[in-house]
Amino acid sequence: MKITEVILAYGHENIQATHESTFEITKEAQISKRGNCIIAVSADKAVADLRPEFKENLRKENAKTTMLIEAGEVVEIVNALGNPRLILTHPTDMVVRKSNYVCSRTLAIRADKAACDLSRKLVEKLKNPKQKVKIILTIKV
Residues 84-113 have pLDDT tens digits of 999 999 999 999 999 999 999 999 999 999
Give all domains of the chain, ordered by start, each with its CATH number.
2-140 (2.60.120.630)
CA distances from 118 to 31, 69, 92, 126 (A): 19, 10, 22, 11
Count of C-beta atoms within a 10 Å radius of residue 20? 11
What separation in angstroms does the CA of 103 have from each of 26, 47, 52, 90, 96? 15, 11, 18, 9, 11
**Residue 62's pLDDT is what?**
83
Question: What integer pLDDT is reported at residue 66 of this predicted model?
Answer: 98
Which of 115, 56, 105 has its CA nearest to residue 82? 56
Q: What pLDDT, on the 0 to 100 scale, is given for residue 141?
A: 75
- Which pLDDT score is estimated for 49? 98
pLDDT value for 115: 98
DSSP-assigned letter for residue 28: -
pLDDT lower than 50: segments of the chain: none
Tell me which residue of 100, 106, 21, 117 sits closest to 62, measured CA to CA: 100
Residue 78 gets the label, from left (phi > 0), alpha (psi -120 to 50) or beta, of: beta
Measured between alpha carbons, how far is residue 45 from residues 33, 88, 121 in Å?
Answer: 22, 12, 25
Distance, CA of 133 to CA of 118 (rounded, Å): 14
H/E stretch holding 68 reads strand 64-71
What's the pLDDT score for residue 104? 98
